[in-house]
Every structure is written in C-alpha cells, then in structure tokens.
Amino acid sequence: MRKVLPVLLIVLLVPLGYYIASSDGARNLPNGEGIVLKLDKSSYTPSDVMVLTLLNNADTNATTSYHFKLYRLEGGKWKEVPVNMMFIEIAVVIEPGKSWEQKVKLSDLGLTPGHYKIVKEVFLGGTTVKAGAEFDING
C-alpha cells in the first residue's frame, strides 16, 4: 500500500505537468468576463484614428501594454496581419471597475478594405487573457 500511493501520485501529476508546460497560459474570455475591449466605432477608413477602451470588470488589477495583434478575416479564417510598429514597453495597470484608452493611427498600419480583429493580451489574476474586438476597414 505504501508503494501504491507514490506511484499513483506520479501517474496523475506527470500528465498534469505536461499539460501546464504545453499551455502558454493565455485564454480567451467571453465579453463581460473580467476584461472587455471596446472600439469607438465598428467601421473605419484607412486614415482614421481608432480608440480602444479596455474595461476591467474583474475584482483585481489588470496589467497590459501598448502592444496588440491584428487579424484579417480571409476565407472564413483569421489570418494574422504583420504590425510593423515599435511599441512602448510600459506596463499599464487598470484598477477594478476602471478603464484605459489607447489610440491607434490606422494610417500607420497600411490596412486595405476588409474585416479585422484587434487583440490585446492582459495579465489578470495570475493568468494571461486575450480580449478582442472586430471592425471593418472601408475604402
């Protein structure tokens, strides 16, 4: 019996360790669960300035940065769009119930007409979550 318990623990903990190591710790959140990313408009021209608002609905501080990822919908699938910009590496702390705004000059991105999604990573409660919002670029 003494040998069974350690063996059983090893059998259970090894797969858990592999799972944790293979996960990057990021997950997507449905709107309203912790962090919400909102845009000032749903449709832009390539020369507009987009205003992103991150709202912290969680009960703990959220931390983010100016960095974002951009995706374009092509053939029913999201394809990452290279963002050839330099980002300021400053940690932005958003207190519970507060929001933070970021302005993005779309002219710097060289976007063509289409349907896009912008995604920001936010550190919240010991894990990294992703918040995104969709928008259109019109010619």
- 133's CB contacts (< 8 A; 6+ apart) are 37, 38, 39, 52, 117, 118
**Position 16 in a domain:** no
What range does the domain containing 32 cover?
A: 25-137
How far is the C-alpha of 50 from the C-alpha of 112, rounded, in Å? 15
**Position 13 in a domain:** no
pLDDT digits (tens, 9 = 90+) for 93-126: 999 999 999 999 999 999 999 999 999 999 998 8
pLDDT digits (tens, 9 = 90+) for 75-84: 999 999 999 8
Q: How is 87-118 classified by DSSP, letter by letter?
A: -----EEE-TT-EEEEEEEGGGTTPPSEEEEE
CATH code for position 124: 2.60.40.10
Which pLDDT belongs to residue 3? 65
**Position 98 in a domain:** yes
Q: Model pTM?
A: 0.74
Closest alpha carbon to 133 in 64, 68, 63: 68
Strands 127-137 and 43-44: parallel
CB 96 within 8 A of CB 60: yes
**Position 105 in a domain:** yes
Total domains in the fold of the chain: 1
**Position 1 in a domain:** no
